Structure 1
Amino acid sequence: MKRLLFCTSALAALAAPAWAEEAEVLIADPLPEVVVTATRIPAIAQRTPGARVIDARAIEQRGALFAADILADVPGLSVVRSGAFGGPTQVRIRGANPGKTLVLVDGVPVNDAAEINGAYDFSGFELGDIQRIEVLSGPQSSLWGSDAIGGVIAFTTREVDGVRAEAEAGSFDTLRGRLAAGVATDTYAVGAWVSRFVTDGISAADEADGATETDGFDNTTIGARGRYALSATARIDGSVRWSRSEADIDGFPAPAFALADTPDRTEGEQWSGFARLSAEALGLSHQLSLSASDLVRDTIADFPFSFEANRQVWRWQADGAAGERLTYAFGAEREDTEGSVSTGAVEDLGTTSLFGVASVEATDRLSLTGALRWDDTDDFGSETTGRLSAALDLDGGFILSGAWGTGFKAPSISQAVCDFCFSAAPFPALTPERADSVEVALGWTAPDGRLDGRITVYRLNVEDQISYVFDPVTFDAVYVNIAETRTDGIEVEGRAALGGGFDLTVAYAWTNARDETTDARLLRVPEHAGSATLGWSGERLSGALTVRAEGDQDDAGGVRDGFVTANLNASYALTDQVSLTARIENLADARYQQVFGYGEPGRSAYVGVRLRY
């Protein structure tokens, strides 16, 4: 197959094993193929429309500490962060609201079942233990069921072999530390890690609006991962990840009910993990796993709230192949979720699913992939979703690929019980939201593999979207299926190996996301967004300069102005085991807002040390 066409601006370095040293591979070398595993069966990224991979080396080179720091550079993905340090942070893929992005950690769904839309909060998602991030844009319900209308973000934790430690200090009295240790052999592996981040922060409300109080953030993440080969054909593995965050936030105090300094704060605690048995039998590779996640979040304010949610998923999957051209997988799942609502009542939802996916090399140039899934919900009937994709090698290093897919999202627990609803009439009966999408991509790779790029054109339709409707005359407030949304978009991305250890990656997205009922633009989705990363790697010095820009976006309460910002990260290897690190964020000291009304830090600097054994 051809070499990797391109990745996002986050892919400023080559794919490398966990703990590999930067100097062992020159960035100027041709790019290898990058494999996507969140597709259920391994797939090559450049042949998979909407697939991007961010590896550990790219995360390190960019100096990204939290998931939101690097996800913002994925074309077509917008990060919504209400407060710079620890503020609620959600993502939208191709204009779909945050509840339509499924988040997986080691295959474990971690979306918040007690959140109104079922969305995941990325504010405390620290990257110290993450080996790779895979982003699949577009409906992926045929692979992963509900919550995947916009796409999937899959995180994989790293297997530790050795000892690694990091420490950093900088602006806003920020302190950060990481420690990981483990051992890995062909027979077994066991490792653990801990990360700590604390800062005094800045005011969550923009200081330009008169806010002066600093809002701090405190985050701790602990995890462990292991595997053991029971025999030549069977093994067990598993992982567990726990995190706790405390963040000062600002609220909307009476009588103006405008964003301002308040003593409000949030506390959140989450753990997730899985245990899996893998075995060869009947000519197939079988995996039987149990995954679980549990989340508690509290808001301490004039109107306090406390929510708790948990999820368990039993999954069996069998992988097989027929000759060298056909690979396939099929299986079954049972998912149970439980969550509390504002009244303190606890509700639950459940789904039983069957799925199958297959990929065939029809010719030496043409590959076809299809997926089909049936989900039977306990409360909202059954849904069948599918996806077809194809990739065709053309002459001159071009690859033409495309995909068509459908998706659905069952109502969340809050929507199902009509939490925060007020009406004298019976609450409307909700149905699942449905989506369909089509995309076409053209990619090109230079003969020497040092220059590549891809352009993707897509359309995403969402029908029966669930909206919260308030009637100012009757004061009724309910959830109803009324909205229809459409997103038309173009995503452009490319990479050039410039020689001398330098490379350049660029990404741009035009996203036209609208409510088909009113023709209004969807909130918090910039029409134009892009980034460029210049990376370098030498014998001792490596780093990256990233410039990111977003256009104006409509927001609740006004229009958030567009902005341009830049970050610089570098490391210098004193020895094979010791490196000094430095990073500067908001290099030009730009004043901007990511979300209307919420300020972002000015220029800030951080220095640290990294140890590896």
Structure 2
Amino acid sequence: MKLYPALSLFTLVAATPALAQPVPDGSAVGDDSIVVTASRVTDEAREIGSTVTVVTEEALARNQIIFVKDALLDVPGVVVSTDRPGANTSVSIRGSDNDEALWLIDGIELGDPSSTSTQYSPEHLTAADISRIEVLRGNQSSLYGSDAIGGVVNIITRRASEEGLSVSAQAEYGAYDTLNGGASVLGKSGPVDFRLTATGYRHDGPSLSDPATANPPGSVSEDDEYWRYGFSGRAGLAATDTLSFQAIGFWLDAFSDLDGTTTDNLNTVKKREYALAGQGSFRSTDGKLKADLTASRYVARRLYFGTSNLPEGDLYKGTKDALRLAVRWGGEGPISIAAGGEMEWEKTDQVTNYSGNLGEKIDTKSAYAEVALRPIDGLTLTGAARIDDNSRFGSFDTYRGTIAYAFGPAKLRASYGTGAKAPGLYQLFDPTYGNPDLGVQTSKGGDVGIDLAIAGGLEAELTYFFGSKRNEIVFDGSIAPYGGYTQYGRTRARGIEAGLVARPLPWLTLRQTYTYIDHETDEDQTGGYIDSGRPKSIATSSVTLTPIERASLTARIRFRDGDESGYGGDTEAYTILDLLTSYGITEKIEVYGRVTNVTDAQYQVSYGKNALGASAYGGVRVRF
């Protein structure tokens, strides 16, 4: 097992001639690709100086992805805290915390102001009707504000582009009485288009707490149910050749068990969340001027039930409202300019027996500008700056610069920027743990890398990254009487992200991703950095065979280093094997199946949490 990261990297280097850059799992970013997340002044992949991975609709289907978090397991630089459906999920980008990654769905900014720090928990988010997922890594505060120190996850859903009506559906059954299904309708008639999707999922266990680390031994036995169902949709109107409107939204309801780290308990949580947005867009006839105005709302409501909660449940409700204007001018000439403004209102309502009641608000006004310069053919320079005016902390500014030079099938790129993260309402004002004296934490960092895209044969990426944070907000258990939030210490991270997609034969595709992260902390600000114990090496290798038309077979190996930074204990390094297959009976009907953790390996992604053993699933997809 310990040899796996070295072997993976050797395979990558041996197969990639001098130039390497990963765009894993069918996510090619060739010269004609569009990347909407990485810049406000350009969406041409060859001009992007940031590190971005695109997970395509084809990749989601081939890997039989049900939950979005599972698609991120194979993205370089990303660490996900669980691979189990429904379990509380944190996503770390380049060593960042979960609250330092910004999530977007079709331009709607997600984030729960009633959580510990305004952040998004993606455990219930399914991959149904997603067209692509763009993962932008590194400091992005100059473009996206306070919650984007680590990076951005932007989800773009499907939209009808052809006249007529289409219907698709999926149904699946498998281990632990898992039932998963959904259906969607897409339609377009002249200037009007729409999509409506319904999804559902449930399973009956096993225990969330791992019997292998139970305390006392043998005390963990109950199965832990999980279910979720939801709806999503969008509707658009092309009012004129230059003006269009659309409405977007989703709603979901979910139920999860909440075992302790090493014990069973009867605690549960019900979560309901929804988001909606309206957008108006203007595009000049020559394509040089673009303007978008978006108004959005995201609401998350959590009810916790247990022996220490209110009989009706402890309530945490967060609301995030936003109004955003983005304007861009310039085409393929020597200069492009983008500017915009945002207003954001955050509110939390908390009624609990656990830590007291809370009702607080905060708002932020922001303005940004970005410019792109193209002094010679193939070279693009961008610079961005932003100022945020917070109703509690005053103003703070961030900046970012990138360079991209594309030549032939290769692109050299580099970026550097600063970030800022404001504390959340819970951290500031919770009656038991809050600290109203907290301030803004800051970060800086960058990366250098190379991308390679040879049509039909090879796609690769290699990146070196570095970053640091100051004045981090942490929970200190020594603060009387129950612990609380304070601000001290520093962290720094550096590492390598790599990926490869090779197609040496028409029926054979090889994929490889690898991440190495060196993460260190200096809690007392003395300059004595020590290793934080987080996983250092993460890798995925896969081989896909397509022996006949409409048939595929994939063998996938995932490796992850041990984790010594988690609460309660350390996890060991592990390697798991999955097998996936699919066959299109016709162009409209496909059957598929997978066996995960084929060898029934015993492992923990996070200490004390029970991963699933060998599991088999089968399903059918229909589209007409």
Judge conservation of contact 2:99–2:117 (CA < 8 Å) in 1. Answer: yes
Over 3 Å counting, the alpha-carbon distance change for 1:222 and 1:6 in structure 2 is farther
Output one character per residue of 1:455-514: Cα deviation in whole Å (capped at 9) or x when no partner.
Answer: 111111111111121227x53633222121101111111221122232112111111111
Within 1, Cα distance between the matches of 2:405 and 2:28? 25
- 2:556 aligns with 546
- 2:511 aligns with 505
Matched, 1:404 2:416: yes
Matched, 1:362 2:362: no
- 1:58 aligns with 59
Within 1, Cα distance between the matches of 2:538 and 2:190? 44
Task: Indicate which of 588, 607, 611 corresponds to 1:577.
Answer: 588
Specify the code of the residue in structure 2 equivalent to 1:69.
Answer: D
- 1:432 aligns with 440
Alpha-carbon offset, residue 359 of structure 1: 2.1
Q: Secondary structure, in 3 states, of the residue corresponding to 1:567?
A: strand
- 2:3 aligns with none
Within 2, Cα distance between the matches of 1:100 and 1:419? 24
Within 1, Cα distance between the matches of 2:599 and 2:382? 46
- 2:366 aligns with 353
Task: Indicate which of 460, 466, 480 corresponds to 1:459.
Answer: 466
1:107-118 alignment runs, 5 A limit: 107-118=107-118
Over 3 Å counting, the alpha-carbon distance change for 1:599 and 1:290 in structure 2 is same
Matched, 1:163 2:167: yes
Over 3 Å counting, the alpha-carbon distance change for 1:206 and 1:461 in structure 2 is same
Percent identity between the aligned chains?
A: 26
Within 2, Cα distance between the matches of 1:531 and 1:185? 43
Over 3 Å counting, the alpha-carbon distance change for 1:58 and 1:461 in structure 2 is same
- 2:392 aligns with 379
Specify the code of the residue in structure 1 equivalent to 2:204.
Answer: D
Task: Indicate which of 598, 611, 623 corresponds to 1:612.
Answer: 623
Q: Secondary structure, in 3 states, of the residue corresponding to 2:74?
A: coil
Judge conservation of contact 1:84–1:202 (CA < 8 Å) in 2. Answer: no
Alpha-carbon offset, residue 273 of structure 1: 1.7
Specify the code of the residue in structure 1 equivalent to 2:487.
Answer: N
Specify the code of the residue in structure 2 equivalent to 1:286.
Answer: A
- 1:255 aligns with none
1:431-580 alignment runs, 5 A limit: 431-446=439-454, 450-471=457-478, 474-475=480-481, 477-517=483-523, 519-522=529-532, 525-537=534-546, 538-554=548-564, 555-580=566-591
Judge conservation of contact 1:12–1:534 (CA < 8 Å) in 2. Answer: no
Alpha-carbon offset, residue 608 of structure 1: 1.1
- 1:90 aligns with 90
Judge conservation of contact 1:62–1:543 (CA < 8 Å) in 2. Answer: no
Within 1, Cα distance between the matches of 2:579 and 2:508? 15
- 1:296 aligns with 301
Specify the code of the residue in structure 1 equivalent to 2:121.
Answer: D
How many corresponding residue pairs? 579
Alpha-carbon offset, residue 578 of structure 1: 1.0
Output one character per residue of 1:516-545: Cα deviation in whole Å (capped at 9) or x when no partner.
Answer: 23634336x311111112234441202433
Specify the code of the residue in structure 1 equivalent to 2:64.
Answer: G
Judge conservation of contact 1:6–1:494 (CA < 8 Å) in 2. Answer: yes
Within 2, Cα distance between the matches of 1:551 and 1:66? 23
Alpha-carbon offset, residue 45 of structure 1: 4.1
Matched, 1:279 2:278: no
- 2:9 aligns with none
- 1:413 aligns with 425
Alpha-carbon offset, residue 599 of structure 1: 1.1
Judge conservation of contact 1:98–1:117 (CA < 8 Å) in 2. Answer: no
Q: Secondary structure, in 3 states, of the residue corresponding to 1:214?
A: coil
Over 3 Å counting, the alpha-carbon distance change for 1:48 and 1:566 in structure 2 is farther
Alpha-carbon offset, residue 376 of structure 1: 0.6
Within 2, Cα distance between the matches of 1:323 and 1:73? 34
Within 1, Cα distance between the matches of 2:467 and 2:27? 31
Q: Secondary structure, in 3 states, of the residue corresponding to 1:317?
A: strand
Over 3 Å counting, the alpha-carbon distance change for 1:393 and 1:577 in structure 2 is closer
Task: Indicate which of 329, 332, 342 corresponds to 1:333.
Answer: 342
Output one character per residue of 1:23-43: Cα deviation in whole Å (capped at 9) or x when no partner.
Answer: xxxxxxxx6643210133443
Give unpaired runs (5+ residues) of structure 2: 1-18
- 1:104 aligns with 104
After TM superposition, the score normalised by the length of structure 2 is: 0.88
Judge conservation of contact 2:20–2:450 (CA < 8 Å) in 1. Answer: no
- 1:23 aligns with none
Alpha-carbon offset, residue 569 of structure 1: 2.1
After TM superposition, the score normalised by the length of structure 1 is: 0.90
Q: Secondary structure, in 3 states, of the residue corresponding to 2:490?
A: strand
Specify the code of the residue in structure 2 equivalent to 1:374.
Answer: I
Specify the code of the residue in structure 2 equivalent to 1:357.
Answer: E
Task: Indicate which of 600, 610, 614 corresponds to 1:603.
Answer: 614
Within 1, Cα distance between the matches of 2:190 and 2:369? 31
Q: Secondary structure, in 3 states, of the residue corresponding to 1:507?
A: strand
- 2:79 aligns with 78
- 1:260 aligns with 263
Matched, 1:192 2:193: no
Judge conservation of contact 2:31–2:45 (CA < 8 Å) in 1. Answer: no
Q: Secondary structure, in 3 states, of the residue corresponding to 2:99?
A: helix
Specify the code of the residue in structure 1 equivalent to 2:184.
Answer: A
Give unpaired runs (5+ residues) of structure 1: 16-30, 252-257
Judge conservation of contact 2:21–2:463 (CA < 8 Å) in 1. Answer: no
Alpha-carbon offset, residue 129 of structure 1: 2.5
Matched, 1:12 2:20: no
Within 1, Cα distance between the matches of 2:573 and 2:23? 21
Specify the code of the residue in structure 1 equivalent to 2:159.
Answer: E
Task: Indicate which of 202, 207, 227 corresponds to 2:206.
Answer: 202
Q: Secondary structure, in 3 states, of the residue corresponding to 1:120?
A: coil
Judge conservation of contact 1:100–1:147 (CA < 8 Å) in 2. Answer: yes
Specify the code of the residue in structure 1 equivalent to 2:358.
Answer: A
Judge conservation of contact 1:35–1:42 (CA < 8 Å) in 2. Answer: no
Alpha-carbon offset, residue 6 of structure 1: 4.8
Within 2, Cα distance between the matches of 1:268 and 1:8? 34
Q: Secondary structure, in 3 states, of the residue corresponding to 2:276?
A: strand
Q: Secondary structure, in 3 states, of the residue corresponding to 1:201?
A: coil
Alpha-carbon offset, residue 579 of structure 1: 1.0
Within 2, Cα distance between the matches of 1:43 and 1:412? 32
Structure 1 runs (4+) deviating above 4 angstroms are: 4-8, 280-283
Task: Indicate which of 605, 610, 616 corresponds to 1:594.
Answer: 605
Within 2, Cα distance between the matches of 1:539 and 1:460? 46
Within 2, Cα distance between the matches of 1:180 and 1:150? 33
- 2:129 aligns with 129
- Identify which range, 327-336 or 155-164, moves more after superposition: 155-164
User: Hey, which of these two has a bigger chunk of strand by percent?
Assistant: 1
Within 1, Cα distance between the matches of 2:432 and 2:579? 44
- 2:142 aligns with 142
Q: Secondary structure, in 3 states, of the residue corresponding to 2:400?
A: strand
Over 3 Å counting, the alpha-carbon distance change for 1:136 and 1:500 in structure 2 is same
Over 3 Å counting, the alpha-carbon distance change for 1:488 and 1:542 in structure 2 is same
Within 2, Cα distance between the matches of 1:578 and 1:443? 36
Judge conservation of contact 1:411–1:430 (CA < 8 Å) in 2. Answer: yes
Within 1, Cα distance between the matches of 2:180 and 2:394? 48
